[in-house]
């Protein structure tokens, strides 16, 4: 269902003006990988570094958005797709606000990641693949979810009973199973500098 009788309003304060005020461009860093691969840890570490550099940032964490914006969604394939769509539309608003957004979502399916890129625009998104072997993710099992999935208590769990389609050509691929967190953060900061998103 689509909204009718809706007209887009043009703001006097534009994205470029907001970016100029902020002192950096807006961009989205999309962290994808298995549960336990370090997506959220890395996203928050990058945000901390950017915050100390004076950048306007915000992290969208997969669990956090399901407490509100996506609280009505489950984990079926259709619900996961809708979850990604809503987040992508939210990111568009943050891009317009001149903010560097960081999104930590398993986002297991290639089609969903492609749809996100279509909504956001390829130039506005940097895909970061947190490449961590399943055995390491499962050994970490911070939330105890792998154990429940193995016991059959959780259905459609990515990596166990539901597939994760590895990104074919991510902008950044990091071995988050063994590579130190600080090094991973540095790689991302360097990429932002190289793209001219941040100038420091």
Residue 127 sits in which domain range? 15-194
Cα separation, 17 vs 62, whole angstroms: 30
19 close to 164: Cβ distance less than 8 angstroms = no
Structure tokens at 39: 């997506």
Instruction: Evaluate whether residue 131 is within a structural domain.
Output: yes
Instruction: Evaluate whether residue 7 is within a structural domain.
Output: no
- Would you state the pLDDT for residue 9? 72
Instruction: Evaluate whether residue 52 is within a structural domain.
Output: yes
The catalytic site residues sit at: 107
- Would you state the pLDDT for residue 4? 66
- Would you state the pLDDT for residue 10? 77
Q: Residues with Cβ < 8 Å from 15, sequence gap 6 or more?
A: 26, 95, 96, 97, 98
Instruction: Evaluate whether residue 184 is within a structural domain.
Output: yes
- Would you state the pLDDT for residue 82? 82
Q: What is the CATH number of the domain that holds 158?
A: 3.40.50.300
191 close to 126: Cβ distance less than 8 angstroms = yes
Instruction: Evaluate whether residue 66 is within a structural domain.
Output: yes
For the segment 4-33, what is each residue's pLDDT rounded down to a tens digit? 655 577 777 899 999 999 999 999 999 999
Instruction: Evaluate whether residue 26 is within a structural domain.
Output: yes
Instruction: Evaluate whether residue 199 is within a structural domain.
Output: no
Q: State how far the alpha carbon of 144 is from the alpha carbons of 80, 161, 179, in Å.
A: 21, 16, 23
Low-confidence ranges of the chain (pLDDT < 50): none
Q: How many domains does the chain have?
A: 1
- Would you state the pLDDT for residue 5? 57
Per DSSP, which regions of the chain are E strands? 27-32, 57-61, 100-104, 125-130, 172-174
- Would you state the pLDDT for residue 25? 96
185 close to 45: Cβ distance less than 8 angstroms = yes
Instruction: Evaluate whether residue 5 is within a structural domain.
Output: no
- Would you state the pLDDT for residue 2? 65
């Amino acid at each position: 269902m689509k909204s009718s009788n809706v007209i887009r309003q043009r703001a006097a304060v534009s994205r470029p003006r907001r970016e100029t005020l902020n002192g950096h461009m807006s961009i989205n860093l999309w962290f994808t990988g298995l549960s336990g691969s370090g997506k959220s840890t890395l996203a928050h570490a990058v945000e901390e570094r950017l915050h100390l550099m004076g950048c306007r940032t915000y992290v969208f964490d997969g669990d956090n958005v399901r407490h509100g914006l996506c609280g009505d969604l489950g984990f079926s394939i259709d619900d996961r797709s809708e979850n990604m769509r809503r987040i992508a539309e939210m990111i568009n608003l943050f891009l317009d606000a001149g903010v560097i957004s960081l999104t930590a979502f398993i986002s297991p399916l290639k089609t969903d990641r492609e749809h996100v890129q279509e909504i956001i625009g390829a130039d506005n998104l940097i895909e970061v693949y947190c490449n961590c072997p399943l055995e390491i993710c499962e050994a970490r099992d911070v939330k105890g979810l792998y154990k429940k999935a193995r016991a059959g208590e959780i259905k459609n769990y990515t990596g166990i009973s539901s597939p994760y389609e590895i990104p074919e050509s991510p902008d950044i691929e990091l071995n988050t199973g063994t590579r130190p967190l600080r090094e991973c953060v540095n790689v991302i900061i360097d990429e932002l500098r190289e793209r001219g998103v941040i100038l420091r």
